[in-house]
């Protein structure tokens, strides 16, 4: 399969993407997909009919369909940790059973969600007793998926937020806690400590700092824990009725659908939170039922495979033309790079192709005045994934949204078509430039074009639509991982740095560096300690 795709890539390299539109008047329709209000356009890529068919055969040969079924029914596809992968269960709003290891897991999911809704409603209507004033602010303490997911979602759905204001602390840097807590009233602030094992070093350090700020043990009535370690929460002082756990078949970066999303439920209310779950579940059904050629997550994954594994483009820019999706690129960085940033296959053999692109991006139009210069005229090709809503949430500022959409469409058009030297010369000549200056400037105004991009269009950014988008990207990661032949659901690469940091903390107190530390680390440590003195 890969050899065939490599051959198709070589054929594609000799033509312009724009020529595909000249050869096929229906290309825009044939290489786009509409489903449940979403439009995914991948026609501005070098994928032609032959490449699309080969990519679909690649997915079929990799066993995507069978492994998709295995995931949804709870088989332990996370083989290195012997776990199921069932974040989809957190957004399953149906009544049927889902049996894993002989037990239906959905009743507990529903019971936990109901407990969350009851507490969220009490906080929002002012009946939550706590031990202070009515709650006006929420501080979520977490890191990784316990921070990026809820932070991204709360920002994205600000127009629907009619509850307490949510704030987030993640970095162990004391500046994060200091700046976040500044101006907040401890007696009207609810604190969420989000750590599945309740052992995450950064989270617990921040939790102790915030507890001290809130008033010590007397403030624990305003603390909530998102954790499965009820005993450790009790040791900290958080009672069981304010502890919401989730099973080990939910990875942190996939956990915003359950208790980790409690801050989102507090901000929006249980009803809007359920709409977010409904959007995710709708995407689950589409992913499970649709044939590959009409399957949005599958096509999104195959476009990514084509660009990285086949064409060799190392990075992927995610460019939401929606200011409230400002944290979506960072969220997708973790989702993709922690899931698929692997070097060995499931059998331990070294991969012969790089898995997992570098994911980055910023919202438009800000990025246009930052890194788009490199995207348009740099020598490296950066596939771009644009997304934009047909409508915004500020009707009184309609001209802003019209300009936003126009910029989004213009950027993908510019990447496609570029500008030839002849066109650049004609523009300059029209401005009266001639002679040697014309020869000099024209070359600087050439855009090669032929740069690939996709565009996702949604009606407007509602809780339901955000649920669709997040679930779509989750399933994209799954499909890519299956095709790479890796386990997308472990993250051993996170562990080594943590282990070494634990050994170096005493060294920062002058107790000596761990044995085996490199000469560079020892020299840096000595220098830092000297500066502190």
Q: Indicate which residues carry an active-site annotation.
A: 338, 369, 498
117 touches 209 (CB < 8 A): no
Report residue 191 as tokens.
């604190």
| Nearest 10 degrees: Cα torsion 121, 126, 127, 132 | 120
Q: How many CB atoms lie within 10 A of CB 360?
A: 18
Place of tokens 């993250």: 491
What DSSP designation does 446 have? -
The encoded tokens of residue 239 equal 């009672």
For residue 495, whether the previous peptide bond is cis, meaning omega lies within 30 degrees of 0, is no
Structure tokens, 275: 């709409």
Which residue, 255, 254, 252, 282, is CA-closest to 112?
255
Q: What is the largest CA-CA distance in the chain?
A: 81
Tell me the two tokens of residue 533: 């003195």
Nearest CA to 473 out of 323, 324, 287, 274 is that of 287
Backbone conformation region of residue 410, classed left if phi is above 0, alpha if psi is from -120 to 50, else beta: alpha
Place of tokens 């824990």: 225
Residue 531, judged by CB atoms within 10 A of its CB (0-12, 13-18, 19+), counts as: exposed
Report the C-alpha gap between 270 and 116 in whole angstroms. Answer: 8
């020299």: which residue's tokens? 523
């Amino acid at each position: 399969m890969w050899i065939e795709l490599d051959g198709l890539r070589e054929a594609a390299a000799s033509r312009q993407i724009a020529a595909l539109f000249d050869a096929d008047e229906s290309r825009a329709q044939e290489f786009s997909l509409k489903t449940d209000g979403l439009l995914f356009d991948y026609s501005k890529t070098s994928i032609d009919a032959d490449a699309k068919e080969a990519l679909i055969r690649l997915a079929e040969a990799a066993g995507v369909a069978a492994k998709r079924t295995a995931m949804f029914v709870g088989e332990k596809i996370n083989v290195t940790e012997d776990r199921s992968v069932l974040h989809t269960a957190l957004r399953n709003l149906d009544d049927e059973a889902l049996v894993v290891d002989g037990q239906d897991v959905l009743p507990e999911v529903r019971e936990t969600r109901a407990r969350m809704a009851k507490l969220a409603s009490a906080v929002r209507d002012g009946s939550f007793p706590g031990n202070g004033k009515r709650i006006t602010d929420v501080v979520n303490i977490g890191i990784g998926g316990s921070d990026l997911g809820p932070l991204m979602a709360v920002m994205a759905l600000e127009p629907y937020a009619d509850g307490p204001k949510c704030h987030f602390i993640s970095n162990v840097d004391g500046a994060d806690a200091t700046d976040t807590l500044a101006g907040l009233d401890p007696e009207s602030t609810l604190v969420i400590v989000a750590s599945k094992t309740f052992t995450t070093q950064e989270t617990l350090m921040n939790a102790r700092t915030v507890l001290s700020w809130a008033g010590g043990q007397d403030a624990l009535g305003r603390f909530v824990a998102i954790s499965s370690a009820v005993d450790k929460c009790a040791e900290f002082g958080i009672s069981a009725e304010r502890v919401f756990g989730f099973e080990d078949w939910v990875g942190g970066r996939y956990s915003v659908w359950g208790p980790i999303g409690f801050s989102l439920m507090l901000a929006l209310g249980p009803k809007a939170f359920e709409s977010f779950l409904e959007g995710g579940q709708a995407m689950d059904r589409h992913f499970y039922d649709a044939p590959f050629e009409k399957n949005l997550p599958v096509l999104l994954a195959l476009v990514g495979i084509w660009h990285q594994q086949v064409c060799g483009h190392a990075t992927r820019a995610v460019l939401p033309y929606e200011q409230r999706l400002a944290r979506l690129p960072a969220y997708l960085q973790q989702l993709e790079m922690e899931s698929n940033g692997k070097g060995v296959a499931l059998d331990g053999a070294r991969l012969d192709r790089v898995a997992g692109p570098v994911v980055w991006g910023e919202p438009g139009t800000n990025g246009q005045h930052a890194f788009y210069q490199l995207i348009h005229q740099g020598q490296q090709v950066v596939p771009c994934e644009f997304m934009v809503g047909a409508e915004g949430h500020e009707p009184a500022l309609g001209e802003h949204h019209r300009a936003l959409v126009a910029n989004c469409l213009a950027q993908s058009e510019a990447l496609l078509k570029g500008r030839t030297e002849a066109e650049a010369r004609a523009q300059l000549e029209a401005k009266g430039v001639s002679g040697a200056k014309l020869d000099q400037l024209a070359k600087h105004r050439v855009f090669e074009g032929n740069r690939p991009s996709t565009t996702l269009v949604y009606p407007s950014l509602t809780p339901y639509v955000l649920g669709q988008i997040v679930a779509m990207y989750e399933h994209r990661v799954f499909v890519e991982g299956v095709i790479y032949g890796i386990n997308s659901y472990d993250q051993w690469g996170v562990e080594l740095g943590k282990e070494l940091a634990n050994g170096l903390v005493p060294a920062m107190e002058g107790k000596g560096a761990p044995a085996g530390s490199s000469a560079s680390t020892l020299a840096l440590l000595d220098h830092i300690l000297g500066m502190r003195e």
